[in-house]
C-alpha cells in the first residue's frame, strides 16, 4: 500500500547563493525542522528518503551537454568562459562554490521522489527542494540551473501515459511549458502574476501549445493585487474542470509560496486559506502525486505553507501555535513566526483584477475548453 514520502534536506545546508541573494537555502532546513516539530516526519504512513545527485545522463533528458559542461566548470565558484551566454554569473544565477552540486542535488531529489511515485510506493511524494521551473535547455534562469521538474516528469513518463502539471508559483513555469509545449502527454497549467509585471515575462493566456500539444498548455495570469477569491475562482472554474477532463494518470505540482501576501518579490495577496484550497483540490484527484517546492522569499511564509501542505496531504490537523523549540531555532535566522494559518481574507480582489480574470476565463473557454470536450 502506498505511503507518503518526504525527501530529506540535510545535504543542502552547506550550499549558499550568497548573502545578498533572495533565495535562502536555509529555508529548506527550517521547513523540515518545522515539520519535525509538529511530528510530521515520524508518523505512521510517512517515510523519509535521502536525496542524491542527478546524473549527467538524467540531466541530458532536457539540458544540452555544452551547458552542463560549463555549469560543471563553475562548481569551483570561479569565472569560466561562456558564462553569460548560458545565463550564469548574473545577479539571479550567480556562480558559487558548489553550484553544480546544488543543481544536481535539487534535480536528483525530485528524481528520487518521482521514482517512489513511479514504483507505486508513494502517493504523495514531496521534495521541498525542487520546483526549479525556469531553467532552459542551455541556460540558467530565475535562480534555476537545472530544471528538476522537467527531469522528474520525463522520469514519470516512463510509466504513465498522461501527466498533469500544475504550477501555483507566483512566477510563470516557463521552462516546464517550453519542454512540453508540443505534446498532449503532459498538460501544463500555470497560475501566476502576469508577465506584464513580473519575471519571466511569459505565461499569457494566448500561449496554449502547438501541434499535438495545442490546448495542453494553459495559463492563468493574475494582475497584481489578486487575492484568495480570484485564486480560488481560477482553481475551481479552470484548473479543476481541465484536470477532471484530462484524467491524468499522475499529477505533478509546483507549490511555490511566493504568491502569499508579504513576499518581497511579488505583488499577489493570497493567504494560506487559498493555498490550502489548492492542496485539497490536488489531493481530491486521487492519483499518484509528486509535489515539489518552488519560489518563496518570505521565509516564514515558505515554512508554514509547506508544513501546512504536508499536513494536508496526510490528512493531519496541526495546531496554529508554532512550537517554541522551532521559534528558537528560527530566531537565529531572524525569522519570526507565531501562528501557521492566516485569518480568512475579508477583502475582495480589486474590480479591475477580477475583470481581467473574467477575460482570461472567457478566452480559455473559447480556445482550450473545447479541445478537452468542455463548454
Residue 266's contacts (CB-CB under 8 Å, 6 or more residues apart) are 170, 171, 193, 198, 258, 259
The residues with which 263 forms a beta bridge, in sequence order, are: none
Classify residue 3 by burial, with Cβ atoms within 10 Å: 0-12, 13-18, 19+.
middle
Q: Residue 184, SS3?
A: coil
**Does the annotation mark 134 as catalytic?**
yes
User: In angstroms, rounded to a whole number, what is the distance separating the alpha carbons of residues 18 and 38?
Assistant: 30
Contact 133, 170 (CB under 8 A): no
Single out the catalytic residue among 134, 145, 171, 172: 134
Neighbours of 276 (CB within 10 A): 17
Please report, for residues 17, 97, 133, 182, 219, the alpha-carbon distance to residue 20 in angstroms, rounded to integers and kept in the order given.
8, 15, 22, 38, 32
What are the cell numbers at 131? 520546483
Distance CA 243, CA 208 (A): 15
Q: Count H helices, E strands: the chain?
A: 12, 8
What distance in Å separates the CA atoms of residue 126 and residue 60, rounded to the nearest whole number? 23
Residues 6+ apart with CB under 8 A from 128: 7, 9, 28, 31, 32, 292, 293, 306
The residues annotated as belonging to the active site are 134
Amino acid at each position: 500500500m502506498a505511503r507518503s514520502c518526504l525527501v530529506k534536506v540535510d545535504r543542502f545546508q552547506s550550499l549558499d547563493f550568497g548573502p545578498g541573494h533572495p533565495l535562502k537555502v536555509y529555508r529548506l532546513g527550517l521547513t523540515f525542522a518545522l515539520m519535525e516539530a509538529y511530528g510530521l516526519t515520524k508518523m505512521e504512513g510517512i517515510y523519509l528518503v535521502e536525496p542524491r545527485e542527478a546524473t549527467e545522463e538524467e540531466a541530458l533528458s532536457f539540458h544540452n551537454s555544452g551547458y552542463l559542461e560549463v555549469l560543471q566548470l563553475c562548481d569551483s565558484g570561479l569565472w569560466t568562459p561562456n558564462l553569460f551566454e548560458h545565463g550564469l554569473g548574473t545577479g539571479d544565477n550567480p556562480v558559487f562554490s558548489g553550484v553544480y552540486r546544488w543543481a544536481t542535488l535539487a534535480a536528483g531529489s525530485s528524481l528520487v521522489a518521482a521514482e517512489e511515485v513511479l514504483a507505486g510506493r508513494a502517493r504523495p511524494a514531496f521534495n521541498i527542494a525542487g520546483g526549479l521551473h525556469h531553467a532552459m535547455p542551455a541556460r540558467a534562469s530565475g535562480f534555476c540551473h537545472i530544471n528538476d521538474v522537467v527531469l522528474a516528469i520525463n522520469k514519470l513518463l516512463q510509466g504513465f501515459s498522461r501527466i498533469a502539471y500544475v504550477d501555483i508559483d507566483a512566477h510563470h513555469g516557463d521552462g516546464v511549458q517550453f519542454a512540453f509545449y508540443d505534446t498532449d502527454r503532459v498538460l501544463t497549467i500555470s497560475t501566476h502574476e502576469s508577465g506584464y509585471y513580473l519575471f519571466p515575462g511569459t505565461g499569457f493566456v494566448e500561449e496554449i501549445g502547438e501541434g499535438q500539444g495545442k490546448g495542453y498548455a494553459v495559463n492563468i495570469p493574475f494582475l497584481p493585487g489578486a487575492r484568495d477569491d480570484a485564486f480560488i475562482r481560477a482553481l475551481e472554474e479552470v484548473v479543476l474542470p481541465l484536470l477532471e477532463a484530462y484524467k491524468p494518470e499522475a499529477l505533478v505540482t509546483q507549490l511555490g509560496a511566493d504568491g502569499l501576501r508579504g513576499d518581497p518579490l511579488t505583488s499577489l495577496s493570497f493567504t494560506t486559506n487559498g493555498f490550502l484550497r489548492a492542496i485539497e483540490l490536488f489531493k481530491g484527484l486521487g492519483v499518484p502525486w509528486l509535489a515539489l517546492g518552488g519560489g518563496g522569499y518570505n521565509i516564514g511564509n515558505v515554512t508554514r505553507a509547506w508544513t501546512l501542505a504536508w499536513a494536508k496531504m496526510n490528512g493531519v490537523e496541526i495546531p496554529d501555535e508554532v512550537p517554541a523549540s522551532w521559534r528558537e531555532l528560527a530566531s537565529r535566522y531572524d525569522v519570526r513566526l507565531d501562528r501557521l494559518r492566516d485569518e480568512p481574507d475579508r477583502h475582495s480582489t480589486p474590480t479591475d483584477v477580477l475583470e481581467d480574470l473574467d477575460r482570461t476565463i472567457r478566452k480559455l473557454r473559447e480556445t482550450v475548453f473545447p479541445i478537452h470536450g468542455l463548454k
